[in-house]
Chains A and B, each alone.
Chain A
Amino acid sequence: MKLSNFRWRTKMDALLSWSLPAILVILWQIFSSMGWISTETLPAPVTVIRTAIHLARSGELIHHIDDSAVRALLGLAIGGSIGLVLGFLNGISRFAEKILDSTVQMLRNIPHLALIPLAIMWFGIGEESKLFLVALGVFFPIYLNTFHGIRSVDPGLLEMGKIFRLTKRALFWHIILPNALPSILIGFRYALGIMWLTLIVAETISSDSGIGYMAMNAREFMQMDVVVLSILLYALLGKLADLVAKALEKRCLRWRVNG
């Protein structure tokens, strides 16, 4: 009884959180049909959906989404794992921190998008330049949060581990890593945002495929519906990434009673 009640409530919550976007789309459609919004400013939702179906049928849409997704995930994997490893290294070893951390902090102050011209000159407009930019962008939040998570370990717990004769490896797996996990996941969520942002900019400026390219290409032919579709796709993909991050947090941080 209680459980079904709970389920019903979560369903209601989900419905409520989607109701505002739904209402906005409906209003948008109504205003477009009434002619209050000119189709040159903004195409009607129905037109956008029709375009989406059309592009999906031709395979073009899937092709672009696929290219963008691969870039995003690969860049995240490369930059994220470097950030993770370096964060662990500098968090655990004071020596490594002394050598590496101030350099990382210096680099962090350069907006990574400022490197777009350099990336194009180094790698051309192929995959490498976009992977480089995404990897660089996601590196910092993951590095910083991993480092901070490792350093914020409760010394009382470490002392307890010492008294119970935990090995260094056990200290890491039982105390240091779980303690850092919430912070790492925050870094991950941040990184997902930066990942999309970097990709949009990189694909818009220089590319021959991907959602950003699709939008820029459509602009040249004044295909407003494709431009709007691209923007909506980014919004949906961003939301999807956020849902994945949330699910991961829920799974990894089950012990947080009031989480």
Chain B
Amino acid sequence: MFQLNRKVSGTTLDIRGLKKQFDNRLILNNIDLLVQRGEFLAVVGRSGSGKSTLLRLIAGLEEPSGGVIMQEGKAISGLNDAARIMFQEPRLLPWRTVFANIALGIRDQNGRTEKTARILEQVGLAGYGKQWPGVLSGGQRQRVALARALASNPRLLLLDEPLGALDALTRIEMQRLIEKLWQEQRFTALLVTHDVEEAVILADRVIMLRDGKVGMDIRIPLPRPRQRNNPLFASLVGTILDQVMASTDRQKSQTLNLVTSKTDKASS
């Protein structure tokens, strides 16, 4: 019998003194962070606060300038084998069918077809295997990207503002889907988002990055599935938003620096 609903246990992460510098700008300055096995952690913060950089460091797509990321007690070097990322753009291959795109995420040839078919069904796209990505809607494409990321049963799922480009209703649908799959597969999840409501709906814990450090760390004690009309939900969203907004003024000058340096690069 094929392994249906195999329980995958997530990884633990222990990040110590993590630093990342680009040119002369310090993006991350001494990040200390513990992530539990199977935890759903959301990272919020203003744009340019280094949320995505943190995610890319954990994925092994960037090298830290200092500090260490321990995964299951071992320091990450090079690409992180346990992790898969989902980006804001689906990054599907337009010249491959939906099926082939997902199969790309599975290295093991054995049972590749069955696995692909199963995950397609889990994301609600059974019967879409033969379609080209170009005919799908934005939400459907992100479902395919999610299926591809989860096809290999990763122990760590990194979500880099994956729902940022979707309309409000599709976003809610996707949030439910991500929560469902997380509950089934029990991977550790790290969600980078600028949508505080999304963070509170999904995460066990929300942290905020400010000045390259963890500026806030709040546990979300709400039972799942979470209701948006719960008064505690509203007050948590309010608290976090206040914190994010309070960090705005201090970051303004930095953001300005970022913008000018970007335009410099573009014009050169």
Chain A residues at the B interface, C-beta cutoff of 8 Å: 154, 156-157, 159-160, 162-166, 174-175, 178-179, 181, 253-258
Contact = CB atoms under 8 A, between A and B. Distances in A.
Interface of B: 59, 61, 79, 81, 83-85, 87, 89, 91, 93-96, 104-105, 107, 132-135, 148
A163 B134 contact: no
Contacts of B133: 255
B77 to A, nearest CB: 15
16 contacts: A156-B91, A160-B87, A160-B91, A162-B61, A162-B79, A163-B61, A163-B83, A164-B84, A164-B105, A174-B104, A175-B93, A181-B95, A254-B132, A255-B95, A255-B96, A255-B133
Contacts of B83: 163
B79 A255 contact: no
A156 B87 contact: yes
A165 B134 contact: no
The 4 residue pairs across chains A and B that have the minimum distance between CB atoms = A257-B134, A178-B95, A160-B91, A255-B95
Q: Among A163, A166, A179, A258, which residue has the most Cβ atoms of chain B within 10 A?
A: A163
A156 B94 contact: no
A32 B251 CA distance: 83
Given A255-B132, A257-B132, A159 B61 contact: yes
A230 to B, nearest CB: 42
Contact of A178 (B79, B87, B93, B132): B93
Contacts of B96: 174, 178, 255
A164 B84 CA distance: 8
A165 B132 contact: no
B61 A174 contact: no
B93 A174 contact: yes
A164 B61 contact: no
Contact of A255 (B61, B85, B94, B105): B94
A181 B104 CA distance: 20
Given A165-B81, A175-B93, A253-B95, 16 more contacts: A154-B91, A156-B89, A157-B93, A159-B91, A160-B91, A162-B61, A163-B83, A164-B104, A178-B95, A178-B96, A255-B94, A255-B95, A256-B134, A257-B134, A257-B135, A258-B134
A66 B133 CA distance: 44
Contacts of A175: 93
Nearest to A161: B104
A255 B104 contact: no
Nearest to B105: A164
Q: Among B93, B95, B105, B132, which residue has the most Cβ atoms of chain A within 10 A?
A: B95
A157 B87 CA distance: 11
B230 to A, nearest CB: 36
Given A174-B104, A175-B93, A163 B135 contact: no
B91 A165 contact: no
Given A160-B91, A174-B104, A257-B135, A165 B79 contact: yes
A255 B96 CA distance: 7
A226 to B, nearest CB: 47
Contact of A163 (B59, B89, B94, B132): B59
A152 to B, nearest CB: 14
Contact of B84 (A157, A159, A163, A255): A163
Contacts of B59: 163
A33 to B, nearest CB: 54
B93 to A, nearest CB: 6
B234 to A, nearest CB: 36
